[in-house]
Amino acid sequence: MHSRTYFEPDRLRQARQLAFMTKREVAESSGISPAAVGQYEAGIAAPRADTLKRLAVALDVPVEFFAPGRPLQRLETSETYFESLRATTTKQRHSATSFAEQIWELSYALETHVRFPHIVLPDSQGNPSVKRAAEDAARAVRDLWGLDSEPVGHLVSQLEAHGVIGCLAPRTPGGVARINAYSTLAFRRPVVVLTADRADDVLRHRFSAAHELGHLVLHGGSASGEPWLEREADAFAAEFLTPRVVLLDELPSRLDFAKLYRLSERWGVQVRMLIFRSQELGLISESTARRAYIRMSQSPQEPRPIRQYDGEVPSMLNSAFELASHRGVSVGTLADQLRWHPRRVRELLGQADDPRPALRIVT
C-alpha cells in the first residue's frame, strides 16, 4: 500500500490540523520521523500500509480516511473570516479551516440524499471593488427575507432557511471552540461556524451570527484579516438586528436603563449595543454613553432574555439527516461515504456521542 493511488496527502494535513497536532507531535505519536510526516503531507512520498495504520491511530481516524477519490476542498485561512483574528493562533485557525472543510464534506454527502434550501443572499459579490454600505446591505437582506422592520426571532434558523450551512463547533480545549465565530464563501454553500462558548450568552451569540452574515453578504472576493472588514460586519450586524428607522422611535432620548432592558428583550441584543446605537444615532452624547458603560461594568449581569431567543443552535444538518434517515440513510451510511468514524458524523450533526436512548422523567 505504498503507492500514492491509495493515499491522499491533503487528508493527512486535514486530520493533523483537526487533532490540533504539529508534524512533530504526529511523528512522536506514530513512531515515525518528523521528516517522513512532512514528506507524506507534501506528497513527496507515500506511507507504507503499516505506517498508515500508525498514523490512523495517532490521529484517531480510520485507515480508509486517507484514501483519495471523494470530495475534498482545501480551505485557506485567507478565505475564512474570523471574528477575532488577533485573539487566535495559527494552530487554531488551521484547525478551524479543517473543521469547516469537514462540515462542507458532511453537507455535500447529505445533499446526495436530501435537497437543501436554496441560497438566498443579495447579489452583492459581483465586483469586490464596489462595496455597498453595510447598513444598505443589512436592509437589503431584511427585505429579501421578508423581515420588514420586526425583530429577528431565531437568527440562526433564518440563516439556515436561506441556504447557509450553520454549525456549532464542539468544545475542545484550546481548539476551534476558542474562536468566537467564523465564516467562508469558499465552498458551494456559505458556511458559518458558531461556537459553544458564545452560545452560553445567546445575545452575543446572535450578534456573532449576524456579524458572519455581514461577511457573507459584503465581502466576497476580499481577503480576510483587514480590520475594516470586521468594522463593516459589525455595522451590518447592528443594522440587521436593530434597524435604524425603528430604533429612532423606540430608543429613549435620555439614559433609561429600565426601557433599555425592555428593548434588549424585544430585539434580542445586549443593552451595551443599544447604548452604542443610541450614541451612534445621536440620541445621547459620548459622555452619557461613557457613563452608561461604566454603570454596566459595575453591574455586568444583564437580565436573562425572554424565552423566544433561547435555542439559537444550528439544526439544518441534523434535520437533513433525519429526513435522509426516512430513506434508509444511517450514521453508518454517512460514515462509510465519508470514511469517518461514526462518532465523528454524530459530533458534526450535533448529536450526543451516546447511542443509548435517553430516559426522560416526566414530573
Closest CA to 30 of 1, 64, 60, 58: 58
Beta sheet of 191-195, edge-to-edge order: 80-82, 181-184, 191-195, 165-169
Q: Is the pLDDT of residue 178 over 70?
A: no
d(CA 267, CA 239): 11
Output the pLDDT for position 87: 67
Domain ranges of the chain: 4-69, 80-238
Q: Is the pLDDT of residue 225 over 90?
A: no
pLDDT tens digits along 122-169: 875 444 433 458 999 999 999 999 998 999 989 999 999 999 999 988
pTM metric for this prediction? 0.88
* Mean pLDDT of all residues in 300-306: 56
Q: Which amino acid is at 239?
A: E
Which has more pLDDT, 106 or 299? Answer: 106
Which has more pLDDT, 203 or 355? Answer: 203
Output the pLDDT for position 358: 42
Please enumerate in sequence order all residues whose Cβ is within 8 A of that of 333, keeping only pairs 6 or more positions apart, or say none.
Answer: none
How many percent of the chain have pLDDT more than 70? 85
pLDDT, the chain, mean:
87
Output the pLDDT for position 101: 97
CATH architecture designation of domain 4-69: Orthogonal Bundle (1.10)
Output the pLDDT for position 161: 96
Cβ atoms of 65 and 11 within 8 Å: the answer is: yes
Q: How far apart, in Å, are the Cα atoms of 191 and each of 80, 160, 208?
A: 10, 10, 13
